[in-house]
Amino acid sequence: MNMNWANRVTILRILLIVPFVSCMLKINDVELSQTMQNVMRYIAAGIFLVMAASDVLDGYLARKNGQVTKLGSFLDPLADKLLMVCACLLLASQKAHVPGFRLPQTVVVLIIGKDLFLLIGFFVVYLITLQIRIIPAPIGKFATALQLSMVTAILLAPEVSTLIPAWIWFLRLLWWSAAITAILGTLIYIHTGSRYIEQHERSLNQQN
């Protein structure tokens, strides 16, 4: 098992999902004062920013130290998807949404739907080719960056919106951009997976 520093950072990002979810579930807790609810949201935002920064750090460490591994190539997108699924579900829920800035369910369905399609596609490609193929596309990195920005902007929205009244419109632009990018990413990954399967079958036919 290749447990280098890049992989350790990625695993730390996965572990931080637990306290992030715990804090998010308390931001609308009626048993807490408004001040404590805000504190929980600030802590959740802080943890989320640490996880977002670690997403950049683990990739940098892997490239700088020449430690790009199959384990890291699997764990990094897994960490991103676990984080975004949890964040999106919470921000759209009754219990953990940010008051006045609730994430639309349609956006959640499109973002999570992309990840489900990718998971299904991964198993389809493996069943047909018997090979594990994880090649991140630029659209996937861009979609992740948009989603991280979207979640951060929502968590900080109550304070920022008092300074920038048009913040809600910026948020809407962010979350619909994230949703559209998720759709485009799904189509691109489907096309890439189909081409890989075709190339694999062509290679087998030539060998026979």
Residue 112 has pLDDT above 60, yes or no: yes
Read off the pLDDT of residues 132-164 as tens digits, 9 standing for 90 and up: 666 666 777 888 889 999 999 999 999 999 999
Q: Report the alpha-carbon distance of residue 70 to residue 104 in Å, rounded.
A: 35
Query: What totals of helices (H) and strands (E) does the chain contain, helices first?
Result: 8, 0
Among 34-43, 95-104, 111-120, 168-177, whose mean pLDDT is lowest?
A: 111-120
Which pLDDT score, from 0 to 100, does residue 99 have? 92
Q: What angle do CA 165, 39, 14 make, to 5 degrees?
A: 100
Q: What are the tokens at 26?
A: 């308390």
In this prediction, what percent of the chain has a pLDDT beyond 70? 88
In this structure, of 13-22, 29-38, 56-65, the range with the lowest mean pLDDT score is 56-65
- With 80 as the cut, is the pLDDT of residue 63 above it? no
Contact 20, 51 (CB under 8 A): yes
Mean pLDDT of 150-179: 94
- Sign of dihedral through CA atoms 197, 59, 112, 82? positive
Average pLDDT over residues 98-104: 94
Task: For each of the domains in the chain, give its residue range(s) and CATH number, in order of start.
Answer: 5-207 (1.20.120)
In this prediction, residues 53-73 reach a mean pLDDT of 74
